[in-house]
Structure 1
Amino acid sequence: MLWNYIRHYIPSIFELLQSFKLRSKEYLRENTLHGFVYFINPYRPLWERVIWFICAITSFCGAVGIIVIIWQRFQSTPTLTDLDIEIGDMTIIYPSIHLCMTSDHLDMTGIPENLTSIYGTYYNWNWKPLNHTEMKLPVPLSKVFQRITPDCNTLLMDCTEQGLAIDCANLFAKSLTPAGICCKSLSRKFTQFNDTPILSFVLRGENYLNMYIHDIDEPPLRHGPIDYQLNRNVDIVLQLDITKSDDGLRMLSRTQRDCVFADEGQSYNNCYRQCMKKKSLEICKCIPWFEIDDKSVMECNLNQYSCFLENIELTDCISECYLFCDHTNYVFVKIGNNDEKTTIRIWKPISQFKRKIRFGWLDILVSFGGIMGLFLGYSILTTVELIYYFSLRLYCGAVIDNIESNKNNNIKKIFVTEREEKSKIFYVKYYDYVD
């Protein structure tokens, strides 16, 4: 009995489809969208219904087209960069300067002759085919190159900072980077008051050094562009373009704003380096010598470097990494000759740019709502009506159709109410199944 009662409230697929068809016509006939109520009305002339249908479809297409354009701009250029202020004296962090050595700086004294060409080839290796694959080295390449390259005190002398003499060992530290063995400047804060060189040193030797200038603690990439090849003493003037980002950019995705905040991830170069190391361990089961910064990871043997040539996706990390939203660009403004020493100074004034949000989610909501309202008379209540008609009203309509179908098919319930024992005649009462 209970099932007979419940089954009337479980409509079939056919009844749901029929209800959907009726609800669609009913919604178009009774909704508040402009023009729809006219072309759906069967009592109006055909030519009038056609005209209203064309007008309604044209308005709908126009609204959708404008919304698509706005959405594409929101995805591609949701931010706006303006010149915030020109700054004279300010406290800034000194850029990270890497003076990286070439294979000409390798001291091959005491190195067996059969290893000298191998060391030079692998030090300069830049994703090109290699012939030395069978030989095993007694000492990993990363340790060999650290040992046979000169110290920073050997390459540089008479270092000064902000006009004050300082030991070059306290200003530069020898380190292993993706660009090779480098002398890395130690990051410091300074206040610019005048044109005094912020850094100067005397360059020793005839072999040139590859100079890279980046933000603090950002190592150069192996395949990245070289800012300058330093083979003599010069005067270098840098222009600082500082970009600051509004906190409102945090509501956008990284892809939209095309940057990350410092508390959200690593800098571009560090991210690229970690991505490559992760893929190297997964695919080649080792790390190339120039990426070794952890003694626990396995450094590649000579015969394992061919793996990097066979798997080009190892260096495909561009889509995973972004610049910092707050960053500084260092632009070479002037490079002049200097017979005495190399000097690096900052161009005045320093420019600061501000990145602000152009399209926020609230702006998108207002824009979409205004466009739909202008072209179609759409509103939030129209959405509520749409949900109501095609959820609760659709189901209730299907249930009513189910009950009426049962009634029209004369489905009846039979109850035995009384029995004559002598004549064995049954009196049966029929009750229509009606509300």
Structure 2
Amino acid sequence: MDILKQVRRTIVESFHEISVHGFIFLVKRGNNILERLIWLVCIIVGFYGIIELGSDTWHRYQTSPTVITMDRSKFAWNTSFPSRTMNKMTVCSDKKIDDDKLEDYLKANPLKFPTDDSKENARNFIKNLSLISYETMSDFPLGIEGNIKPDEYLKLMSDLKWEFHPEISSGTSNKLILQRIITERGICDAVNTKTAYYNSYDYWKDNRWDLVEPNITVVVHPLELKPSQRNCRLDNESEELLTSAIYSFNLCRSQCRFKMALKECKCIPWFYRSLDKNGRRYPICRPEGMRCIGKMKDEIITLKSSKKKIECDCMANCDNSNFFTQSIRSRVWFLGANLQWGIIDYPKLQLKRELIFGLSDVLGMKNIIINANICKYPLMF
């Protein structure tokens, strides 16, 4: 009984001293039971309102703290020439294999290719392998693989690659950099992009996962907003990508195809990185596996299906530039292929993602809620 009295005394004293309005009237002497019940209901309703308002505020902070606005101050912008951003300009030559290198490879491996028939099969296999894509996998020839193992495919494509040496100029003193990369259309060359090195054979071969250069274009502090809050990802936020050290929307979509091929056909095409960040190695598809993937080429290319659900929730890049084709002109050029591209009109509109509801706003709302009076005046009877 002494303990109960002591607890009751403590509660009464606490309610008398508490700054939140209403609690004192629950224990104030002279108030009848009806007054106490009315104040209790008032307090419960007040706390319910606080919880609802707090939940809405927190939900807003988690889901929509940013807003996209239009910026028209075009004279202050530094417009990047295609393709300094994630949207790289990539050139894929129709000729992938150097015939002289191929012949030297066949001659240097007489034990693998002892007869003329085995050499001819290897030629056809290697040339078909170099031209592989999701569109052509369903027609990949069988029975000509010979002694070439799947783990050798990528190295072989890199070693026998036809050297593409285009003349590249920007019309200014700026240098346009050409980087050989591995794509879903084989080995190609990317022009003027800072992210291509992460998809190069040398980077993969050395089992590297480090960032080559720091990102200096970030304007949103990663500690203030999570990716799910701003609905975009920074270059260095590649935690969800198993086979890439850097994030981009296209790399994320490639991983979705990677996972889909692995799930449905138990292997991946040779143009994907077979060793992930966790040290797990994935099997490379033989011709039978390529045909398996080719049967679902429409689904795996579009990542859409009417028969099953394909999960691929890829966020856009926070710092991204989109270039649209305004005009295309072609003519016969007797000296070989000639490609020119450039900016006809400078951009006049820029979309910016701005923070309108940050953590400081949430804390400010919390203070307002705590200091709010439940009822301003006591009830009088």
Which letter does structure 1 place at the counterpart of 2:341? I
**What are the equivalent positions in structure 2 for 1:163-174 lying under 5 Å apart?**
163=171, 172-174=178-180
Seen in structure 2, the aligned counterparts of structure 1 residues 37 and 165 have a Cα distance that, compared at 3 Å, is closer
Which letter does structure 1 place at the counterpart of 2:247? S
SS at the partner of 2:21?
coil
Which letter does structure 1 place at the counterpart of 2:284? C
Flag the structure with higher strand content: 1
Contact 1:245 1:354 in 2 (8 A): no
Seen in structure 2, the aligned counterparts of structure 1 residues 343 and 375 have a Cα distance that, compared at 3 Å, is farther
Contact 1:78 1:256 in 2 (8 A): yes
The offset of 1:73, in angstroms, is 1.0
SS at the partner of 1:336?
coil
Contact 2:258 2:268 in 1 (8 A): yes
Partner of 1:400: none
Partner of 1:112: 121
Seen in structure 2, the aligned counterparts of structure 1 residues 54 and 290 have a Cα distance that, compared at 3 Å, is same
SS at the partner of 2:365?
helix
* 1:202-242 Cα shifts (integer Å, max 9, x gaps): xxxxxxxxxxxxx765769xxxxxxxxxxxxxxxxxxxxxx
Seen in structure 2, the aligned counterparts of structure 1 residues 345 and 373 have a Cα distance that, compared at 3 Å, is same
SS at the partner of 1:175?
strand
SS at the partner of 2:90?
strand
**What are the equivalent positions in structure 2 for 1:97-136 lying under 5 Å apart?**
97-100=89-92, 111-112=120-121, 119=128, 123-125=132-134
- Rounded to whole Å, the distance in 2 between the matches of 1:83 and 1:367 is 28
Among candidates 241, 247, 269, match of residue 267 of structure 1: 247
Among candidates 172, 188, 192, match of residue 182 of structure 1: 188
The answer to whether structure 1 residue 363 and structure 2 residue 371 are counterparts is no
Partner of 1:252: 225
Identify unmatched segments of 5+ residues in structure 1: 1-13, 189-214, 221-242, 310-314, 378-435
- Rounded to whole Å, the distance in 2 between the matches of 1:258 and 1:106 is 42
Partner of 2:169: 161
- Rounded to whole Å, the distance in 1 between the matches of 2:138 and 2:267 is 18
Which letter does structure 2 place at the counterpart of 1:289? W
Partner of 2:321: 329
Partner of 1:410: none
- Rounded to whole Å, the distance in 2 between the matches of 1:307 and 1:182 is 24
The offset of 1:370, in angstroms, is 0.6
The offset of 1:344, in angstroms, is 1.8
Contact 1:100 1:183 in 2 (8 A): yes
Partner of 2:341: 344
The offset of 1:72, in angstroms, is 0.8
Between stretches 68-77 and 175-184, larger displacement belongs to 175-184
Contact 2:274 2:282 in 1 (8 A): no
Seen in structure 2, the aligned counterparts of structure 1 residues 89 and 367 have a Cα distance that, compared at 3 Å, is closer
Partner of 2:36: 49
Partner of 1:10: none
Contact 1:172 1:186 in 2 (8 A): yes
Matched pairs, number: 303
Contact 1:249 1:357 in 2 (8 A): no
- Rounded to whole Å, the distance in 2 between the matches of 1:113 and 1:179 is 20
The answer to whether structure 1 residue 76 and structure 2 residue 84 are counterparts is no
Q: TM-score, normalised by structure 1?
A: 0.50
Structure showing greater radius of gyration is 1
Contact 2:42 2:374 in 1 (8 A): no
SS at the partner of 2:331?
coil
The answer to whether structure 1 residue 86 and structure 2 residue 67 are counterparts is no
Contact 1:276 1:317 in 2 (8 A): no
SS at the partner of 1:330?
coil
Contact 1:29 1:37 in 2 (8 A): yes
Partner of 1:138: 147
- Rounded to whole Å, the distance in 2 between the matches of 1:324 and 1:98 is 19
Between stretches 104-113 and 133-142, larger displacement belongs to 104-113
**What are the equivalent positions in structure 2 for 1:30-69 lying under 5 Å apart?**
30-41=17-28, 43-69=30-56
